Copies of this chain bind each other. A is one copy, B any other.
Amino acid sequence: MTRETGRGRGSATPRSVDVARLAGVSQKTVSRVFNDEPYVSADVRRRVLEAAEQLGYRLNNAARALASGRTRSIGVVTLGTALYGPASLLMGVERVVRDTGYALRVVNTMEGDPAGLAGAVDSLLDQGVDGIVISEPIDEEGVDGQSSLRLDVPVLVLGAPSPVTAPTVLTAGDGADLMARTATEHLLALGHVTVHHLAGPQRWYAARDRLKGWRATLADHDREIPPVAEGDWSAGSGYRAGRALAENGDVTAVFAANDDMAIGLIRALTEAGRRVPEDVSVVGFDDIPVAAYVTPPLTTVRQPFDTVAQEGLKRLVHTIENPDAEPLPPSAPPVDLIVRTSTAPPPSRTPPARGRRTASRPRGGTHRPSLPNGGPSPRS
C-alpha cells in the first residue's frame, strides 16, 4: 500500500515504532515519553528523545485523537467581523487556548447565514473538538424557538446568556450591563438631567445588556427614559442617529453602545453646530485604539477582553479535563471607565461639584473643536 504521504525510501515520515527501534525500546515506551507519563527511567527517556530528534519524529495527532477519543482542540464560533470587540476577544481566546496546550479551530457565523449558529457548531462537532467557545452570539429568531441546539461537549459562552443546551454551559464577560450603568452614572453625576442612548443592534445580547444597564440606571434615579436610537455598530449608523438627536435641543448627554457609533454621532452633532462636550456629552464603549485621538478624545468604557477570555477558558478547560468535578466559579471582570474630554457638565446648569463650565451659545454658530490641554491621555 503505497501512500502519497511521502513513503519514499529514507525521507518517510517517521512513526513511533521507528523511534522505538532506534532507541532500542518498545513502541509503548516512546508513547510514554511523549505523553509525559510517569515510570520511565531518565535514561530511557533521554534515549527516546534523542532518537526522535534524530529522526525528526512528531506525534501523529490524528492517530492520537482516534485512539484516545480526545482531540485536544477547542472550537470557537465567531461572528466573522473585524469589529474591535469580537476581534479582540478572539485574539484573547487564541492566546489562552494555546497556553493551555489545546489547538484552536475557528468557525464564523455570518449574520444572515442560513445555517447560523447551529451550522457553525455542527461544523465544529464534525471536525472534532473537546469544547466549544461561542463568542458574542446574536439572537437568531426562529431557530431559537424550535431547537435550542443540543450538544454534548462543554460550552463557554462569551458575552451573552447561552443559546445552547450542553452538559456544562459556562458564561463569561456578561457584565455589560454593569459597565453600561457605570457610563450612565458618570453622565448623571456630571449633572445631566437624563441620558440618551444610542443602542447597538438588539439582536446582539451585548447590545441588549448595555441598553438594560442604561435603562436601569435611569430608573434607579427616577429619570425620564428617552426613546432609544438603534444603530448597527457602524460609525455611519451613529452619524445618522446623531443627525436626528441634534435636532432635539433637550439632548445633553448620550451614551453610545460602542465607540464607532460614538464617533459618527459626534461628527453629526458637530456638523449640526452642537459642540461636544460643551453642548452635548458623549460616552462610548470599548475603548478602541483611536478613541484617545479623535476629536474630542472619547470618554469610554474599556472592555476587559483579555481577562474575560482568560478566565472563561480556564474554566472551560477545567471542565473538559475534570468532567465530573464542579465547574469553577465565575469571577466578575473589572469595570473600567476611561474619562477623557467628550463628557462635561450640561450647558447652563450648576454641576454637582467644582466650578461651572461654559454657557451655551446659539446653536449652529461658529465653533471650534475642544482641544484638551496637554493632549490626549491614551491610558486613563
Q: Which residues of A contact B (CB under 8 A)?
A: 3-6, 58-63, 65-66, 69, 71, 73, 78, 80-82, 84, 87-88, 90-91, 94-95, 98, 103-108, 110, 123, 125-128, 152, 234-236, 238-239, 259-260, 263-264, 267-268, 270-271, 288-290, 292-295, 323, 366-369, 371, 375-376, 378
Known contacts A62-B128, A65-B62: does B270 contact A293 (CB below 8 Å)? no
Q: Chain B nearest CB: distance from A292 CB in Å?
A: 7
Q: Within the assembled complex, what's the spacing in Å between the Cα atoms of A6 and B323?
A: 12
A-B residue pairs in contact (CB < 8 Å), sample of 12? A60-B128, A80-B91, A82-B91, A94-B106, A95-B108, A98-B123, A103-B107, A104-B105, A239-B293, A239-B376, A264-B290, A290-B290
B residues near A106, Cβ cutoff 8 Å: 94, 104-106
Q: Chain B nearest CB: distance from A90 CB in Å?
A: 8
Question: Do A94 and B107 touch (CB < 8 A)?
Answer: yes
Known contacts A82-B84, A94-B80, A94-B106: does B294 contact A369 (CB below 8 Å)? no
Which residue from B59, B65, B267 sits with its C-beta under 8 Å from A294? B267
Which residue from B60, B62, B104, B293 sits with its C-beta under 8 Å from A263? B293
Question: Do A66 and B60 touch (CB < 8 A)?
Answer: yes
Question: Do A104 and B107 touch (CB < 8 A)?
Answer: yes
B residues near A127, Cβ cutoff 8 Å: 61, 73, 103
B residues near A81, Cβ cutoff 8 Å: 91
Q: Within the assembled complex, what's the spacing in Å between the Cα atoms of A342 and B234?
A: 21
Question: Do A260 and B289 touch (CB < 8 A)?
Answer: yes
Question: Do B234 and A289 touch (CB < 8 A)?
Answer: yes
Q: Within the assembled complex, what's the spacing in Å between the Cα atoms of A236 and B297?
A: 12
B residues near A263, Cβ cutoff 8 Å: 290, 293-294
Known contacts A80-B91, A293-B239: does B63 contact A271 (CB below 8 Å)? no
B residues near A6, Cβ cutoff 8 Å: 152
Q: Within the assembled complex, what's the spacing in Å between the Cα atoms of A80 and B80?
A: 16
Question: Do B294 and A294 touch (CB < 8 A)?
Answer: yes
Q: 19 other contacts beyond A98-B107, A98-B123, A235-B293, with CB at 8 A cut-off?
A: A6-B152, A60-B66, A60-B128, A61-B126, A62-B128, A63-B66, A73-B105, A78-B91, A81-B91, A87-B91, A95-B108, A103-B127, A106-B106, A234-B289, A235-B289, A236-B378, A264-B290, A290-B290, A366-B368
Measured CB to CB, the nearest residue on chain B to A71 is B62
**What 3 pairs across the A-B complex have the smallest Cβ distances?**
A62-B65, A5-B69, A235-B293
Which residue from B82, B152, B270, B366 sits with its C-beta under 8 Å from A295? B270
Q: Within the assembled complex, what's the spacing in Å between the Cα atoms of A95 and B288?
A: 25
Question: Do A235 and B292 touch (CB < 8 A)?
Answer: yes
B residues near A123, Cβ cutoff 8 Å: 98, 103
